[in-house]
């Protein structure tokens, strides 16, 4: 498994979803993400049963962590994006998706390369701080400064301490936060 390539795909996938949400009609994006989730479930099930799926099998072999459901991270990310888009308005969803894409990717890469102080499980202080700062830098492009600070810090705490997969928790958590502290 190539963790750098895995996180680059995570970043591009997440920012791609945010761009779709920002520029396409909501109903079209909902349809695209719903089809992607269903397709991902079908492919994941096929791979879990030992079937070979051209291109997909090679990607999963290269990018997926060992001993997990194939495509689990991407499915969780797409599912949380879908749920966020169903229940929250676009100005709240876009920053939530950007936050997850940037924070999670940078936190993992920085933690792997520079992490020395473990905080929770495999997560390090260096990774978490790097991811939070990177998320802030990305968020100032789509949120006012105060909101960017609050969202980046809240997401950094969620990413560091959640016992549940952060691909599921961060977008929903940030959508709730931005609903309570309106943009």
**Would you say 161 and 134 are in contact if contact means Cβ atoms under 8 Å apart?**
no
Secondary structure (3-state) at 69: coil
For 97-154, how does the pLDDT look when each residue is reduced to its tens digit (9 = 90+)? 999 999 999 999 998 888 677 877 788 889 999 999 999 999 999 999 999 999 999 9
Task: Identify the pLDDT of residue 115.
Answer: 66
Task: Identify the pLDDT of residue 180.
Answer: 93
Residues sharing a CB contact under 8 Å with residue 31, sequence separation 6 or more, in sequence order: none
Please report the sign of the dihedral spanned by the C-alpha atoms of residue 76, residue 82, residue 4, residue 60. positive
d(CA 162, CA 169): 8
Say if residue 69's pLDDT is above 80.
no
Q: What percent of the chain has pLDDT over 90?
A: 67
Q: What is the mean pLDDT of the chain?
A: 91
For 121-132, how does the pLDDT look when each residue is reduced to its tens digit (9 = 90+)? 788 889 999 999
């Amino acid at each position: 498994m190539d963790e750098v390539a895995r996180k680059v795909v995570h970043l591009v996938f997440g920012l791609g979803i945010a761009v779709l949400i920002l520029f396409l009609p909501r109903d079209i994006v909902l349809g695209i993400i719903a089809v992607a989730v269903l397709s991902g479930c079908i492919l994941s099930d096929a791979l879990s049963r030992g079937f070979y799926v051209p291109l997909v099998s090679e990607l999963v072999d290269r990018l997926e962590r060992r001993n997990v459901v194939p495509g689990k991270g991407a499915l969780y990310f797409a599912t949380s994006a879908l749920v966020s888009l169903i229940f929250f308005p676009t100005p709240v969803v876009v920053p939530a998706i950007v936050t997850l894409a940037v924070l999670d990717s940078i936190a993992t890469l920085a933690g792997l390369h520079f992490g020395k102080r473990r905080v929770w499980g495999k997560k390090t202080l260096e990774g978490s701080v790097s991811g939070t700062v990177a998320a802030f830098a990305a968020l100032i492009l789509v949120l006012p400064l105060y909101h960017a600070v609050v969202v980046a810090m809240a997401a950094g705490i969620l990413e560091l301490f959640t016992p549940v997969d952060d691909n599921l928790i961060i977008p929903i958590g940030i959508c709730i936060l931005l609903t309570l502290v309106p943009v």
